[in-house]
């Protein structure tokens, strides 16, 4: 992945993407908690994909923004299609493209007209931006072949510091349609709770193959722990992460910040 040099004449969406790149691929630049959490999420997402699909598989990266997952997987030999509603970001991703096969399909994921089905689709940090998570998951299921996969990450709605509404408790999600699809955490509408994931998968015609909770408040830099990340060795942070992930389910449900899941579309 090529490193780009910031330009004041860039579009605002490029500038925002570059800020995230400072944390995600060039840094950590400032927020160590964000950097730790991102690297963990990236590692687990790639693991869930690569353990079921070999290089050469077709992968759709939905709402891929600055394209870091897309570019990484292209370099690993996967055939990637990048997607985002902000079509102008495709040229920003092209600036960073070094090697590997990647194509671009900008547009609303609900309306994409693509020439073929995919072996997998990545839906990382996007379902929480939709007013209808159930409809979104159903739509994503139509984009992968029978036997294909969806890899999803999303914030854990049961995390004790979450105050957003629960999707299954909302009588009319349509009231949130005007604010959906906004980027960044300000655009979060519902944060899904662990017990909602399997029913949503089933209603979309998917099987929930893997489900994990990960990332604790320390590694996220929450609760004024950012200063600890400045002085604590990475090995210690890793051990704390592993320890908290092995706590009883009733604790991890409330204590860990992130959900990662792999769904499979049945063959018949």
CATH assignment of the domain containing 85: 3.40.50.150
Q: In the predicted model, is pLDDT for residue 145 greater than 90? A: yes
> Over 90: is that where the pLDDT of 204 sits?
yes
> What does the pLDDT average to over 210-216?
93
Both tokens of 48, joined, read 């869930």
Whether this prediction's pTM lies above 0.85 is answered by yes
What percent of the chain shows pLDDT beyond 70?
Answer: 96
| Residue 6 within a domain | no
- For residue 25, is pLDDT > 90? no
Number of domains observed in the structure of the chain: 1
pLDDT of residue 216: 86
Angle in degrees, CA 99, 103, 104, rounded to 5: 125
Q: What is residue 27's predicted lDDT score, i.e. its pLDDT? A: 73
Give domain status of residue 153, yes or no.
yes
Structure tokens, 133: 């998570």
Distance, CA of 66 to CA of 123 (rounded, Å): 14
pLDDT score at 211: 96
- Asked whether residue 1 is assigned to any structural domain, the reply reads no
| pLDDT for 141 beyond 90 | yes
- For tokens 């957003």, the residue is 164
d(CA 172, CA 169): 9
- Residue 28: cis peptide before it, omega within 30 degrees of 0: yes
Domain presence at residue 5: no
150, β-bridge pairs:
121, 263
Is residue 88 domain-resident?
yes
pLDDT at 249 over 70: yes
Residue 32 has pLDDT above 80, yes or no: no
Between 53-57, 94-98, 157-161, 226-230, the lowest mean confidence (pLDDT) is in 226-230
User: Does residue 3 fall inside a structural domain?
Assistant: no
In sequence order, what are the residues at sequence separation of 6 or more whose Cβ sits closer than 8 angstroms to the Cβ of residue 63? 83, 84, 85, 109, 123, 125, 126, 129
Q: Which domain holds residue 86?
A: 12-264
pLDDT given at position 29? 64
Domain annotation covers residue 2: no
pLDDT of residue 54: 98
| pLDDT at residue 240, as a whole number | 81
Under the banding of pLDDT at 50, 70 and 90, the label for residue 184 is confident
From residue 252, give the alpha-carbon distance in Å to each of 41, 44, 109, 227. Answer: 16, 17, 32, 23
Is 7 within a domain?
A: no
Close Cβ partners of 195 (under 8 Å, ≥ 6 residues apart): none
- Whole-number pLDDT of residue 183: 80
The tokens describing 108, both together, are 């609303």
| Per-residue burial over 11-29, b = 16 or more CB atoms within 10 Å of its CB, e = otherwise | eebbebbbebbbbbbeebe
* Cβ-based burial of 58 (10 A; exposed 0-12, middle 13-18, buried ≥19): buried
For the chain, how big is the Rg over CA atoms in Å? 18
Residue 59 three-state SS: strand
Structure tokens at 230: 């400045």
């Amino acid at each position: 992945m090529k490193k780009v040099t910031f330009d004041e004449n860039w579009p605002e969406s490029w500038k925002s993407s570059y800020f995230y790149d400072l944390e995600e691929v060039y840094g950590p630049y400032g927020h160590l908690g964000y950097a730790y959490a991102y690297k963990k999420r990236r590692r687990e997402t790639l693991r869930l994909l690569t353990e079921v699909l070999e290089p050469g598989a077709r992968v759709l990266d939905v709402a891929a923004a600055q394209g870091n997952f897309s570019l990484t997987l292209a370099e690993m030999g996967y055939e990637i299609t990048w997607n985002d509603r902000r079509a102008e970001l495709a040229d920003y991703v092209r600036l960073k493209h070094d090697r590997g096969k990647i194509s671009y399909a900008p547009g609303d994921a609900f309306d994409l007209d693509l020439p073929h089905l995919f072996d997998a689709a990545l839906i990382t940090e996007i379902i929480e931006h939709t007013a209808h998570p159930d409809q979104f998951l159903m739509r994503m299921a139509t984009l992968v072949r029978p036997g294909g996969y969806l890899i999803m990450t999303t914030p854990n709605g049961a995390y004790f510091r979450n105050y957003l509404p629960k999707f299954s408790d909302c009588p009319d999600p349509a009231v949130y349609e005007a604010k959906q699809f906004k980027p960044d955490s300000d655009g979060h509408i519902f944060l899904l709770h662990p017990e909602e994931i399997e029913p949503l998968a089933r209603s979309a015609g998917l099987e929930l193959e893997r489900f994990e909770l990960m990332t604790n408040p320390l590694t996220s830099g929450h609760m004024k722990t950012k200063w600890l990340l400045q002085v604590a060795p990475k090995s210690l942070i890793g051990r704390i992460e592993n320890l908290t992930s092995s706590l009883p389910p009733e604790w991890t449900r409330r204590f860990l910040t992130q959900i990662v899941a792999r769904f499979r579309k049945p063959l018949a």
